[in-house]
Amino acid sequence: MGHEALVVGGSGMLAEVSRWLAHTGYHVTVIGRDRSRLEQVAKNSSTPDRFTLLDLDYQDTTALEQAMSQLRSERGPIDVAVTWIHNTAPEALSVIQHEFAYQAEEWRLYHVCGSRAWIKPPFVEEVDSCLYRRIILGFVWEEPVARWLTNDEIACGVIRAIETDQPQSIIGKVEPWERRPGY
């Protein structure tokens, strides 16, 4: 079995990250709720056969636990997880971490966070075998105003963060914090 990747929320702004991982040789499991949106990720990829599409609501902890357990038994150890999880699902990241905690192989968790993580970093458990990497989505300063990142900027930034593999990466800017859009 080849390299395994999981992208949670991988049918939205991270769709290009899901496709890039597949293009670079990973088998990519993508989680989202809308089946047709998930299918577009594979359909618009140069390697559509390298996807497993899981339509589930990550707010449903039991469903997520069952899906992760099944994924692990069917696909084996994971190498990379990229997660973009809304704060409506505070248990989801931990469920994923614990499911893959006891595999012998190290794996990397790229936790994509909103800009607020710069001011208030989320608490994330340390879990055996998991190398945690935080990616903070900042903003773009375009004189005289600031704007949020586009999907392309986010996807390119996340890909760069995976390639450079630093403990923390920032896409765009987070300072001056009081210059962020809408403030």
Q: Where does this chain bind ligand NAP (CB under 6 A)?
A: 9-13, 31-34, 37, 57-59, 84, 86, 89, 114-115, 137-139, 148-151, 154
Nearer Cβ to ligand NAP, position 60 or 103? Answer: 60
Residue 27: CB minimum distance to ligand NAP, A: 18
Q: Where are the beta strands (DSSP E) in 68-181?
A: 80-83, 107-113, 130-137, 139-142, 145-148, 168-171
Q: Among residues 2 and 48, whose Cβ is nearest to ligand NAP? A: 48
Least distance (Å) from ligand NAP to the CB of residue 77? 23
Measure the CA–CA gap between 117 and 138, rounded to whole angstroms. 9
Six token digits for residue 24:
């670079």
Question: What's the min distance (Å) between Cβ of 98 and ligand NAP?
Answer: 18
Which C-beta is closer to ligand NAP: that of 84 or that of 107?
A: 84
Which residue is at the shortest CB distance from ligand NAP?
A: 12
Q: How far is 28 from 5, CA to CA, in rounded Å?
A: 5
Contact criterion met (CB below 8 Å) for 41 and 51: yes
Q: Which is nearer to ligand NAP, 126 or 182 (CB)?
A: 182
Phi and psi at 4, nearest 5°, equal -115, 130
E strands, 17-171, in order: 27-32, 51-55, 80-83, 107-113, 130-137, 139-142, 145-148, 168-171
**Cβ at position 159, least distance to ligand NAP in Å:** 15
Minimum distance of ligand NAP from residue 57's CB (angstroms) = 4
Residue whose CB is less far from ligand NAP, 35 or 102: 35
